[in-house]
């Protein structure tokens, strides 16, 4: 059974919450925390890659294509992922992503549309 866009958006929020919980257990310098966060970022990219682009375009402030590209990088470049890049994504991009996803779930497009 195909998951709906709403379910996939909810999956993104679940993954973001899981990342926050992983980081409460330790820093990205801990290999287990790093791997756990990395997998959740892959999940976010995978979920987004299956959401209707017309829906995603309602929040143009989010670089949806970059999220998909990050998923591909993380999933296929096992040894080429820099901790700094992951930290930057976690520190700077997850909060705006969560806000945009919540707006989309509530049927409220971005004010920049």
Query: For the chain, what is the mean pLDDT?
Result: 92
Which pLDDT score, from 0 to 100, does residue 86 have?
93
User: Is the pLDDT assigned to residue 113 strictly greater than 70?
Assistant: no
Which pLDDT score, from 0 to 100, does residue 112 have?
55
| 9-53 residue pLDDT tens | 999 999 999 999 999 999 999 999 999 999 999 999 999 999 999
Cα–Cα dist 24/12, whole Å: 19
The pTM is what? Answer: 0.90
Instruction: Report the CATH fold assignment for 5-105.
Output: 1.20.120
> pLDDT grade, residue 84 (50/70/90)?
confident
What number is the average pLDDT over the span 75-99?
A: 88
User: How far lies 60's CA from each of 29, 65, 98, 101, in Å?
Assistant: 32, 11, 14, 12
Q: Is residue 86 a contact partner of residue 34, using CB atoms and an 8 Å limit?
A: yes
- Cα end-to-end distance, the chain, whole Å: 32
Which pLDDT score, from 0 to 100, does residue 110 have?
72
Which pLDDT score, from 0 to 100, does residue 2 have?
87
Range scoring the smallest mean pLDDT among 8-12, 21-25, 65-69, 76-80: 76-80
């Amino acid at each position: 059974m195909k998951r709906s866009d709403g379910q996939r958006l909810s999956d993104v929020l679940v993954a973001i919450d899981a990342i926050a919980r992983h980081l409460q257990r330790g820093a990205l310098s801990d290999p287990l925390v790093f791997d756990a966060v990395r997998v959740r970022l892959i999940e976010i990219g995978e979920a987004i890659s299956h959401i209707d682009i017309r829906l995603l375009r309602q929040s143009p402030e989010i670089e949806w294509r970059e999220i998909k590209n990050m998923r591909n990088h993380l999933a296929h470049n096992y040894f080429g992922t820099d901790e700094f890049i992951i930290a930057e994504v976690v520190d700077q991009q997850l909060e705006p992503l969560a806000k945009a996803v919540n707006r989309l779930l509530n049927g409220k497009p971005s004010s920049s549309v």
